[in-house]
Amino acid sequence: MSNIKKRLLLIDGHSMAYRAFYALPVENFKTSSGQPTNAIYGFASMMINLIKEEKPTHIAVAFDVSRKTFRSEKFPEYKANRASTPDEFRSQISHINEMVNCFGIKQYELEGYEADDIIATFAKTAEKSNYEVLICTGDRDSFQLVNEKTTVLYPKKGVTEMARMTPEAVKEKYGLTPQQYPDFAALRGDPSDNLPSVPGVGEKTATKWISDYGSLEKLIENAAKISGKVGQSLRENIEVVKLNRELTHLLNDLQIVDSIDELDWQGFDVNLMSEFFEKLEIRALKERIKSLPQVGQAEIPDIKITVKEIDHEQLSKQLSKHTEPIAISFDLIEGKLQGYAVALNATEVLYVSNSRLGDWISDVNLPKILHAGKSAIKNLNLKGLCSDIELIAYLVNPGSRNLDLDSLSERILGISPSGESLFSAFDPRSAAWIFSLQKELGNELNSKAMTGLYQDIEQPTLILLSQMEVNGIAVDTKKLKSLSDYFAKIVLDETQMAYKQAGHEFNVGSPKQLQVVLFDELKLPKTKKIKTGFTTDAESLEWLASKTKHPLLKHLLRIRETSKLLTTIDGLITATKNDGRIHTNFQQTVAATGRLSSTDPNLQNIPIRTDEGRQIRECFIAQSPFTDLLTADYSQIEMRIMAHFSDDKGLIAAFESGEDLHSTVASQVFGVTHSQVDAEMRRTIKAMSYGLAYGLSSFGLAQQLDIDPVSASELMSKYFERFGGIRDYLKTVVSTARQKGYTETILGRRRYLPDLNHENRQRREIAERAALNAPIQGSAADIIKIAMINVDHEINLQNLKSRLLLQVHDELILEVSPGEKEVLERIVKDKMSNAYKLNVPLDVNIGFGKSWDLAAH
């Protein structure tokens, strides 16, 4: 250590975490369970940058314990003006503490003191031992610590761009030395800490006084000589200034560690950090952090993998006698096959460096193990899939987002695939890794009792989805282009009318310019305060429109609504292939509940509730030789699953009556006859019934229905009086999940929720909402998959030409071949209604039409 320059990095944890929170939009950084991660991500990114650029030998992070410190005891108003900590930020602090541990960095907090005091103590102690000290903080009080040995890294923008506050930089910015800075701050006051300023004394005057007299102490001694109103103001506020100076002084003599050498940093813990990023679904930083020193690297198993390059004909000959499962990895560049590797076992790989395949690829009797095999099934006519390790890894941990082969190999096998490949960028050894992963993941799947779910539901779904993607769905491109022109004209016309109402042109898509027009020029009521001003999102504009009736808002809302439709339409036009069809990509491993999603383009968000939205659905058509589209969906499937799980007799009876569910429930809750239930009553009960399955609170219900929380609470109590089984189930499902650590669907699909027992309330509540939602939404996903598989099987069994095209949530869409309408309707009705035996019947609605909209029922 004697030959290495000792450099100590001190980080103000809360200060920089807050900066990270406000630097990144919280809505863009959330886990699948709803846990915000923007502060965690920003803080981690900052740590990586700092360590990489500054190369510290010692590191410590200091956190505040609470706002109650010796300063607040001396001055109760100290920091009392600060807004309450946002729940979205508070729920991330414990994760940031955990992450600092994963970095292998010691963290400190001390009751009654602030992080600044801990940092000041460490800095002064380190200086005496000849350390170079770097302090990263957003608190300017730290400038008093700056000297030739200590530099403050003060964030200029977010948490990525830092100003280096050296003695020269402090002097240049404030015209004062670092030692004089707290004297200047005492005069200026600090609005962020609620420290009062001297009335009439601004920064220029404060700087001049301290510069002229050298220190606050000398200034106070000479206060009587200062003339004018400012002099009088200073004399009247001397006690205030003295208190400010006392409060801004950082303590540097706390008893925390015996020696700064205890803060020695060796590197981050690879295994802990990998698990942490996996849990928080933060993938982007996994590669960046590899550039830092590491400790705890899992030992790479001493598995000798032999790779033999052979001709495709030799491979075909060898595989013709092979009956055991093989693992395959493909070398694809822009979707084109360049080569492939076949693992006969965990140590023996055969590599072909061209795109020629043998008949073995389509041999259903040769079991094949792949990673993300849907592409090979679609494009290479692969048959005989026995295991898809991406899909198995998803089932084992549905909250994970890191399911790529590199991540799985590193996490499960302890292999870091980033090493130099044997054959350019493609590593044939990956086939052997797939082979080994299948064994490890297969064992875990079996231990969690989900092997049947994989074999009977998930793998058949994957194979069926590959065929549905090949099929695609036809669109009327002329009609789409006509709609695009129509909506583009509306946007243009509405924009011109918005200009007229504002009195000038402005960028209607710019929140900044919109804020100026609405709040500065038109003086409209202020909306919710955000970091960049006052929010101008759609909800806020609707609130302003209802409150002020200003005509500009009507145009702005129309522009927003129509632009969204236009974006959807233009995306569909771009996605239409030469065959006149859109071939979406179904995602099977994204939603933690088991639901499918759709990308490139997303066909699950095509509007249905408005006339204009339905015009888009009118563009999806049956293409010759097919005559119609058939649409079939489950009626109120989530409420039926709720009735099944809760066994609530009232809810079961409501379904068995055959009458409208929400009206029937409303009549019981409000104590009126069925005919007396109006639209508002029905809407209220519908919102509550579905909301309960998503952990809706009385406060949430109040917001949704725009009623006061007391009324919402009373309404909820009335609901539970009638439907006590639902209340009991909702309580039981969370407590059971808390004991087990996971929830289950009707088919045993598990969702692990470790935060159900977390000490942090926000994290616990997010997990509780997921525990309520996962069994219901997950069971709905299970049922529609069973239905889809059974419908397709029966179509093939009866040699029909009709085919499945799409699955959109609880709806199936099929293309009908001539003469098959009646038989197809019977098959779909039968297979969907009998997909799973619930305590209430599964009700299926079916419709036919030349377009998706006309086939609606």
| H helices present in 214-296, as ranges | 216-221, 228-236, 238-248, 270-279, 285-288
Name the pLDDT band for 300 (thresholds 50, 70, 90).
very low
On whether residue 199 sits in a domain, the answer given is no
Q: Measure the N-to-C terminal CA separation of the chain; round to a whole number of Å.
A: 77
| End residue of a domain, out of 693, 717, 746 | 746
Tell me which of 854 and 255 has the higher pLDDT: 854
Strand ranges for 614-753 from DSSP E: 620-621, 628-634, 742-744, 750-752
Question: What pLDDT was estimated at residue 280?
Answer: 86
Q: Residue 423's domain is classified under what CATH number?
A: 3.30.420.10
State the residue for tokens 């889809």: 788
Residue 73 CB neighbours (<10 A) = 10
Q: Is 116 in a helix, a strand, or coil?
A: helix
On whether residue 329 sits in a domain, the answer given is yes
564 and 642 in one domain? no
Percent above pLDDT 70 for the chain: 95
- The DSSP bridge pattern shows strands 803-808 and 750-752 to be unpaired
pLDDT at 82 > cutoff 60 = no
Q: Residue 120's domain is classified under what CATH number?
A: 3.40.50.1010
On whether residue 457 sits in a domain, the answer given is no
Per-residue pLDDT averaged across 348-363, rounded? 95
pLDDT at 441 > cutoff 90 = yes
On whether residue 269 sits in a domain, the answer given is no
Q: Residue 647's domain is classified under what CATH number?
A: 1.10.150.20
Per residue in 43-59, pLDDT (tens digit) is 999 999 999 999 999 99
pLDDT at 416 > cutoff 70 = no
599 and 647 in one domain? no
| Residue 111 near residue 127 (C-beta atoms within 8 A) | no
618 and 751 in one domain? yes
605 and 619 in one domain? yes
H or E element in which residue 855 lies: none
| End residue of a domain, out of 683, 712, 746 | 746
Radius of gyration of the chain (CA): 33
For residue 165, give every residue at least 6 positions away whose Cβ sits within 8 Å of its Cβ, in sequence order, or none.
143, 146, 151, 152, 153, 154, 173
Per residue in 465-492, pLDDT (tens digit) is 999 999 999 999 999 999 999 999 999 9
Q: What is the token pair recorded at 86? A: 């946002």
How many structural domains does the chain have? 5
Question: What pLDDT was estimated at residue 412?
Answer: 82
DSSP label of 359? G
| Beta-bridge partners for 534 | 529
Name the pLDDT band for 79 (thresholds 50, 70, 90).
low
Per-residue pLDDT averaged across 186-210, rounded? 75
642 and 552 in one domain? no
| End residue of a domain, out of 263, 286, 315 | 263
How many residues make up the chain in this entry?
A: 857
Question: What pLDDT was estimated at residue 805?
Answer: 98
What does the alpha-carbon distance between residue 683 and residue 272 come to, in Å, rounded to a whole number? 48
Question: What pLDDT was estimated at residue 423?
Answer: 46
52 and 120 in one domain? yes
Per residue in 505-532, pLDDT (tens digit) is 999 989 899 999 999 999 999 888 776 7
Q: Is 812 in a helix, a strand, or coil?
A: strand
486 and 402 in one domain? no
On whether residue 553 sits in a domain, the answer given is yes
Instruction: State the angle between helix axes of 477-502 and 551-575 in degrees (0 to 180), rounded to the nearest 10.
Output: 160
Q: In what order do the strands lie in the sheet with 620-621?
A: 581-582, 473-475, 620-621
User: In angstroms, what CA-CA distances link 705 with 516, 610, 662, 701, 715?
Assistant: 31, 21, 16, 6, 11
pLDDT at 78 > cutoff 70 = no
What does the alpha-carbon distance between residue 292 and residue 268 come to, in Å, rounded to a whole number? 8
What does the alpha-carbon distance between residue 231 and residue 6 come to, in Å, rounded to a whole number? 48
| Residue 765 near residue 87 (C-beta atoms within 8 A) | no
What does the alpha-carbon distance between residue 429 and residue 416 come to, in Å, rounded to a whole number? 12
Per-residue pLDDT averaged across 565-573, rounded? 95
704 and 785 in one domain? no
* Angle made by CA atoms 548, 549, 555, in degrees to the nearest 5: 120
| Residue 722 near residue 669 (C-beta atoms within 8 A) | yes
On whether residue 219 sits in a domain, the answer given is no
The lowest-confidence range among 13-22, 85-94, 226-235, 450-459 is 226-235
Q: In what order do the strands lie in the sheet with 348-352?
A: 306-309, 348-352, 336-343, 326-333, 368-370, 385-388
Residue type, position 829, single letter: K
On whether residue 226 sits in a domain, the answer given is no
722 and 760 in one domain? no
Question: What pLDDT was estimated at residue 421?
Answer: 42
483 and 439 in one domain? no
**CB burial readout 653-688, b (16+ within 10 A) else e:** ebbeeeeebbbbbbbbbbeeeeeebeeebbebbbbb
Structural domain range at position 332:
306-448
On whether residue 291 sits in a domain, the answer given is no
User: Across the chain, what does the average pLDDT equal?
Assistant: 89
| Residue 775 near residue 744 (C-beta atoms within 8 A) | yes
Question: What pLDDT was estimated at residue 2?
Answer: 43
393 and 346 in one domain? yes
Per-residue pLDDT averaged across 809-837, rounded? 97
Question: What pLDDT was estimated at residue 766?
Answer: 85
147 and 128 in one domain? yes
| Beta-bridge partners for 153 | 136, 164
Tell me which of 338 and 281 has the higher pLDDT: 338
Question: What pLDDT was estimated at residue 25?
Answer: 82
pLDDT at 137 > cutoff 50 = yes
820 CB-contact burial (10 Å; exposed 0-12 / middle 13-18 / buried 19+): buried
Question: What pLDDT was estimated at residue 192?
Answer: 65
